[in-house]
Amino acid sequence: MRTRDWLRVPLLALVAALAILTVGAGACGSAHHQVAADRFAGYWWLVDPQRDPYGHAPYVMYLTSSGETYALVADGVASEKPATVANGTLHLVTRQLVSGPGMPVDYATHPVTLSKAQGDHLTAAWYEDGSGAPALPLTYRRVSMAEGALRERFLLVVRGIQNWSLNNNDSYPGLPYVRPAESGKDRLHWVGSYMPPWPTNPITGEPMHAGRAPGDFEYRLTEQGDLFRFVGYGADGKPLVVF
């Protein structure tokens, strides 16, 4: 299936996302237990993307806390400013990169209200710009730090594919080009040129690559080459992220 247009993110967002992952997935082992016990903090994954009427909702949110103050990174882009819990909810303004490669960085802003739902679920009400009317509430489920980091790294590869497409007349690369960039005159052929640095597989510590082992991905084009299917495999070897 074709991923949504908002997945086409400039390189700055990808670099920021990978920096967040480095902190979230490996640098603060003791903090992971604190985050997991927090009612808002941690990784959250969108349950049903088809319910998003505006295309504002990110697939993965990462909330960090300092007391009752929270900062949000949504699909690798930090929110405008932290927010404090009020009446059991968080009111944040997220940013979505809308500029293309080679253009000045620009953001669209989207107000959102986050509230805890039953169990390990979070309810997010995204607001349409200018209307003040909330979209249908969307549900996110909590995922572990390890799973959240792996999901987000798969998304980095998908965004690299989308950025490649944006620079190649909306076509998609063949599998041999979905890899880290190589130096030389043909460097723009590689998807890795549109998403430095190429993400590592947190399970093996090696660069992500095609395969069916934990942390690997499958990538296939349709016969026409205008659509692709991406499957990222989790630590248990089962599909974890599917586009």
| Higher-confidence position of 180 and 74 | 180
| Higher-confidence position of 102 and 69 | 69
| Higher-confidence position of 196 and 75 | 75
Q: Is the pTM of this model over 0.75?
A: no
Cα–Cα distance measured from residue 71 to residue 107, given in angstroms and rounded to the nearest whole number: 18
Q: What φ, ψ does residue 56 adopt, rounded to 5°?
A: -85, -30
Q: What is the pLDDT of residue 165?
A: 87
Task: Say whether pLDDT at 37 is over 80.
Answer: no
For 180, the token pair is 């880290």
Nearest to 13 by CA among 130, 89, 106, 139: 106
Task: Render pLDDT for 160-172 as a digit per residue (tens, 0 to 9).
Answer: 898 888 888 888 9
**CATH number for the domain running over 5-143:** 2.40.128
Task: Say whether pLDDT at 31 is over 50.
Answer: no
Q: What is the pLDDT of residue 117?
A: 74
Q: Where in the chain is the domain with CATH 2.40.128?
A: 5-143
Task: Render pLDDT for 92-130 as a digit per residue (tens, 0 to 9).
Answer: 888 766 554 545 556 677 888 899 877 799 998 877 655
DSSP string of the chain? -PPPGGG---HHHHHHHHHHHHIIIII-HHHHHHHHHSSS-EEEEES-GGG-SSS---SEEEEEEETTEEEEEETTEE-SS-EE-BTTEEEEEEEEE-PPTTS---EEEEEEEEEE-SSSEEEEEEB-TTT--B---EEEEEE-HHHHHHHHHHHHHHHHHHHHHHTTTT----GGGSS---SSTTGGGSGGGGSSSPPB-TTTSSBP-BSSSTT-EEEEE-TTSS-EEEEEE-TTSSEEEE-
Task: Render pLDDT for 42-63 as a digit per residue (tens, 0 to 9).
Answer: 999 999 888 876 667 888 899 9
CA dihedral 7, 2, 195, 13 (to 10 degrees): 0
